Structure 1
Amino acid sequence: MIFLTALPLFWIMIAASRGGHWGAWMPSSISAFEGTCVSIPCRFDFPDELRPAVVHGVWYFNSPYPKNYPPVVFKSRTQVVHESFQGRSRLLGDLGLRNCTLLLSNLSPELGGKYYFRGDLGGYNQYTFSEHSVLDIIK
Structure 2
Amino acid sequence: MSVFPFMVCLFFLYQLLLASSNGAYYAQLPERIMALSGSCVQIPCTFDAPEDKLKNPESTFGFWIKTGYNFNNPTNLVVFNGSANIIKGFSLIEILGNLSQRECTTVFYDVMKNHSDNYYFRMEIYPVFWIYTYKDNPVNISVSDSPQPLILKPNDLKEVMEKTTVNLNCSAEAPCPKHPPTISWSNIPESANITTQLQEKPDKTHLMFSHVTFEASYMDHKKNISCTATYPRKTSEDSTVETTVMLRVLFPPKETHIIDPSASVSVGTNVTLTCKSKASPSNNMTFSWHKRGEDSQLDLGEQLTFPVNKRSGGWYFCIAKNKHGFQKSNEIQLIVGGEFISIYRY
Name the TM-score, length of structure 1 as normaliser: 0.76
Are the equivalent residues in 1 in contact too, given 2:48–2:102 (CA < 8 A)?
yes
Query: What is the alpha-carbon distance in structure 2 between the residues aligned to residue 73 and residue 99 of structure 1?
Result: 19
State yes or no: 1:66 paired with 2:71: yes
Are the equivalent residues in 1 in contact too, given 2:71–2:78 (CA < 8 A)?
no
More helix by share: 1
Query: What is the alpha-carbon distance in structure 1 between the residues aligned to residue 81 and residue 98 of structure 2?
Result: 13
1:1-139 alignment to 2 at 5 Å?
22-50=25-53, 51=55, 52-69=57-74, 70-82=76-88, 84-85=89-90, 87-122=91-126, 124-130=129-135, 131-139=137-145
Tell me the alpha carbon deviations over residues 69-101 of structure 1, each in whole angstroms, 9 at most, x when there is no partner. Answer: 32122222222222x12x231111111111111
Query: What is the alpha-carbon distance in structure 2 between the residues aligned to residue 96 and residue 68 of structure 1?
Result: 27
Q: Report the residue type matching 2:79 in the other structure.
A: V
Q: Report the residue type matching 1:49 in the other structure.
A: D
Are the equivalent residues in 1 in contact too, given 2:35–2:41 (CA < 8 A)?
yes
Tell me the alpha carbon deviations over residues 19-40 of structure 1, each in whole angstroms, 9 at most, x when there is no partner. Answer: xx52210101000111111101
Instruction: Tell me the SS of whatever aligns to 1:121.
Output: strand
Which has the larger Rg?
2
Instruction: Tell me the SS of whatever aligns to 2:30.
Output: coil
Instruction: Tell me the SS of whatever aligns to 1:110.
Output: helix
- The RMSD of aligned alpha carbons is 1.6
CA-CA distance at 1:105 after TM superposition: 1.3
Instruction: Tell me the SS of whatever aligns to 1:49.
Output: helix
Number of positions where the alignment pairs a residue of Structure 1 with one of Structure 2: 117
Instruction: Tell me the SS of whatever aligns to 2:134.
Output: strand
More strand by share: 2
Identical columns (%): 28
Instruction: Tell me the SS of whatever aligns to 1:66.
Output: coil
Tell me the alpha carbon deviations over residues 30-68 of structure 1, each in whole angstroms, 9 at most, x when there is no partner. Answer: 001111111010001111232333221111111110120
CA-CA distance at 1:126 after TM superposition: 0.4
Query: What is the alpha-carbon distance in structure 1 between the residues aligned to residue 43 and residue 125 of structure 2?
Result: 21
Larger relative CO (CA 8 A, sep 6+): 1 or 2? Answer: 1
The 10-residue stretch of structure 1 (61-70 or 126-135) with the greater mean CA deviation from structure 2: 61-70
* Structure 1 ranges of 4+ moved more than 6 A: none
Give the unaligned 5+ runs of structure 1.
Answer: 1-20
Give the unaligned 5+ runs of structure 2.
Answer: 1-23, 146-346
Name the TM-score, length of structure 2 as normaliser: 0.32
